[in-house]
Amino acid sequence: MLTIENLTHIYGNGTRALDGVSLTIPKGMFGLLGPNGAGKSTLMRSIATLQTPTSGSIRFGDIDVIAEPEKLRRVLGYLPQDFGVYPRVSAYDMLNHMAVLKGIANGKERKATVEALLQQVNLWPVRGKALAGFSGGMRQRFGIAQALIGNPELIIVDEPTAGLDPEERNRFLNLLAEVGENVVVILSTHIVQDVTDLCPRMAVLAGGKIQLEGAPTELQHQLEGKIWRRTIDKAELPEFRKRNEVISSRLVGGRTVIHVLSDHHPGDGFETAPGGLEDVYMATVAKTRRAAA
Ligand code: ADP
């Protein structure tokens, strides 16, 4: 169990990236959703001990993460947003090298670990190829393989599916779901579908604060009967925005479909829409934006 209490981070330029964040994260997949600039990476880097928060506490089991970062690093697997370097080194050699860095000194044990991980992430057939030539999906699967070295108890993946095509994304998410059963996995993302597909629990971070937390199914339940849909002309959008709480607008077959949040029927032409997690998320982000305006 990961327990975060009252975490605040203020960067040197005065940006308050995290503002009193408290979260309890049990075993299994946990989705952290938020728009760009919400503070997700700051939170992930703080948990991964790559930066020290301004104030607050983080505990993982009996480890005080801020006071004992080296203890956390022993049980942590981290896939950062920008995994960065993709050298002309083979996947096998790179993973082997990373296992050395992670402290697996015994050659036999390391060989077994590296081989098992390459099999698990389905990169065994291309183990001899240079990482530089890997596709986005292959790189992310390699990223997961390196994060899994040493059987971590806490796994953090920061925006892992951005830029993956649907097939690669599916493959990646299935892999994550497999490893996510017995450990704490935090999936930070701005893609709602990732969370819908995978996570029994989630939170929405926006403006450095936790705006919402719970089980996706329960959160969707709370919006039941309050989401309304209408097809409009694009030019009418500003007018609808003035009169209604428009939480999303999207083009469907060249026309604009809006979703409105309202306790009552918002008027002619609206029909109820089955509220999905996307609506929960959009309603939360819209509320945060309004509060900040
Ligand atoms: P997210 O990962 O959700 O996009 P970040 O944690 O990257 O959010 O950023 C949160 C806020 O902190 C943003 O306003 C961002 O501009 C700011 N920020 C991030 N890193 C730094 C930094 N090194 N120095 C100053 N401000 C930063």
For the chain, domain boundaries: 2-215, 221-292
**Predicted local distance difference test score (pLDDT) of residue 173:** 87
Q: Look up residue 246 and give its two tokens.
A: 């428009």
Q: How far is the CA of 14 from the centre of ligand 1 (A)?
A: 11
In this structure, the residue with its CA closest to atom 10 of ligand 1 is 39
Helix axes 91-101, 136-147, angle to 10 degrees: 30
Spatial strand order in the sheet of 154-158 = 76-79, 154-158, 184-189, 28-33, 201-206, 209-214
Confidence of residue 34 (pLDDT cuts 50, 70, 90): very high
pLDDT score for 130: 93
Atom of ligand 1 lying closest to residue 81 CA? 2
Which one-letter amino acid corresponds to residue 193?
A: Q
Instruction: Please indicate whether residue 162 or residue 1 has the higher confidence score (pLDDT).
Output: 1
What per-residue confidence (pLDDT) applies to 185?
95
Residue 163 pLDDT greater than 80, yes or no: no
Q: Return the ∠ at Cα 205 (arms to 186 and 190), rounded to 5°.
A: 65
Please, are residues 99 and 93 in contact by the beta-carbon 8 Å criterion? no
Ligand 1: which atom is nearest the Cα of residue 45? Answer: 6
Write out residues with Cβ below 6 Å of ligand 1. 11, 13, 15, 17, 34, 36-42
Q: Ligand 1, from 11, 82, 211: best to mutate by most atoms within 8 Å of Cβ?
A: 11
| Sheet-wide strand order for 227-232 | 246-252, 255-261, 227-232, 271-272
pLDDT at 85 over 70: no
CA–centroid distance, 19 to ligand 1, in Å, is 12
CA distance 206 to 45: 17
pLDDT given at position 159: 82
pLDDT in tens, 201-260: 999 999 999 999 999 999 999 888 999 999 999 999 999 999 999 999 999 888 999 999
Q: How far apart are CA 200 and CA 212, in angstroms?
A: 14
Alpha carbons 162 and 164: distance in angstroms, whole number: 6
Instruction: Let me know: does 214 contact 201? Beta carbons within 8 Å.
Output: yes
Cα–Cα distance between 157 and 141 in angstroms, integer? Answer: 11
Degrees to nearest 5, angle at CA 211 with 242 and 187: 120
CATH code of the domain made up of 2-215:
3.40.50.300
Q: Whose CA is nearest to atom 6 of ligand 1?
A: 39
CB 97 within 8 A of CB 84: no
User: What's the gap in Å between 210 CA and the centre of ligand 1?
Assistant: 16
Closest residue CA from atom 20 of ligand 1:
42
Per mean pLDDT, which range of 18-27, 35-44, 83-92, 117-126 is the poorest?
83-92
The answer on pLDDT for 165 being more than 70 is yes
Confidence of residue 83 (pLDDT cuts 50, 70, 90): low
Judge if pTM exceeds 0.75. Answer: yes
- 16 CA from centroid of ligand 1 (Å): 9
Per-residue pLDDT, 137: 85
CA of 276 relative to ligand 1 center, distance in Å:
28
- pLDDT of 188-204, one tens digit each? 998 898 898 889 999 99
